[in-house]
A = this chain, B = another copy of it.
Amino acid sequence: MIVAMWESATDDQIQEVTNHLVKMGFAVHRTTGARQSVLAAVGKRIDFDIRELEVLPGVQGVHRISAPYKLVGREFRHEGTIVRLPNGVEIGGKQVVVMAGPCSVESREQLFAAAEIVGRAGAKVLRGGAFKPRSSPYTFQGLGLDALKLLREAGDCYGLMVISEVMEISQIELMLPYIDIFQVGARNMQNFNLLRELGKVRKPVLMKRGIAATIEEMLLSAEYIMSGGNYQVILCERGIRTFETYTRNTLDISAIPVVHKLSHLPITSDPSHGTGLRDKVAPMACASVAAGADALLIEVHPSPDEALSDGAQSLFPEQFAELMDQLRMIAPAVGRTI
């Protein structure tokens, strides 16, 4: 950490800041320049509130030097993390893994139809929501445990791994026997109680970026899971909130190469939630793979017009099959396969 003092800072003020840094556990080096003094604080601690220093008299600015995370950083692990699923599929490897399925599990018929469609087209993981707390208390709230059982059955039937969203600590135990990947939604990216519990689990966690979260904050949340001992973390870009209103969110595709530079963790793109509009899903899925995404998360429904949730952003079966064909052409351009 670097603390720059104002040109007008007194020696007493510089001393007070130095004392504060020492109390925080840092060794301090002082450089006195023509215009101002600069304090370099060196140490191993990464969790501190820089504002504690910013409010001290005489301080012009405080700059973090080391990243506020450690385990998720490229410095900690140079080669990319590969998350291996039980059936051998690898997320973060040469193959771009497509995870697809309906927003919500609605019925056995619907889910098995979806699983067959996505599996046949080349998806490796089946997605489907079991718990659906919604903004209106009157709308469909998900099938819960029944959905989990159906996901497992459908996954096994069609040779697909299974991913579903966990929303509360109490659901972890319930889900463990049925799913292969825990999904953490954008709204829970900073639900630290939930992240802490997922740090104790020994199954992969796919964690979505919050709609107002910086890339650094996403990495910090991943660090939280990893610090609990679970190193199988997959990141996911799913759109951020901006002033543009035509799309529901703005899918920040540049987050893909940025994450690859800063971290060894694989990163997924979710063009369905990222745009909220069916006819934007395919172009943004193609763009994500072209930008280097390790995986995709896509909503597909056997008949989107009858979907109980998110039908408007779900692909029709034939659209998904066409998209997979496009992706197969794009992947080799970036050294990948589908």
Q: How many copies does the complex hold?
A: 4
Interface residues of A in 246-291 (CB under 8 A from B): 246-247, 250-258, 261, 274-280, 283-284, 286-291
| A201 sits at the interface (CB 8 A) | no
CA distance A311 to B297 in the complex (A): 36
| A104 sits at the interface (CB 8 A) | no
| A63 sits at the interface (CB 8 A) | yes
Contact of A284 with B257 in the complex, beta carbons under 8 Å: yes
| A47 sits at the interface (CB 8 A) | yes
Are A247 and B258 also in contact (CB < 8 A) when A75-B8, A286-B334 are? yes
| A215 sits at the interface (CB 8 A) | yes
Of B40, B139, B212, the residue contacting A211 (CB under 8 A) is B212
Look across to chain B and name the residue whose beta carbon is closest to the beta carbon of A286: B290
Residues of B within 8 A of A224 (CB): 135-137
- Interface flags for A284-311 (1: CB within 8 Å of B; 0: not) read 1011111110000000000000000111
Interface size class of A (residues with CB under 8 A): 35 or more
Residues of B within 8 A of A191 (CB): 133, 187
Look across to chain B and name the residue whose beta carbon is closest to the beta carbon of A27: B33
Are A42 and B51 also in contact (CB < 8 A) when A2-B2, A190-B135, A287-B288 are? no
The listed residue with most B CB atoms (<10 A of its CB), out of A78, A167, A290, is A290
Binding site for B on A (CB under 8 A): 2, 4, 6-8, 27, 29, 31, 33-36, 38, 40, 42-44, 46-47, 49, 51-52, 54-55, 60-61, 63, 65-67, 75, 78, 133-139, 167-169, 187, 190-193, 196, 210-212, 214-216, 220-221, 224, 227-228, 240-247, 250-258, 261, 274-280, 283-284, 286-292, 309-313, 326-327, 329-330, 332-334
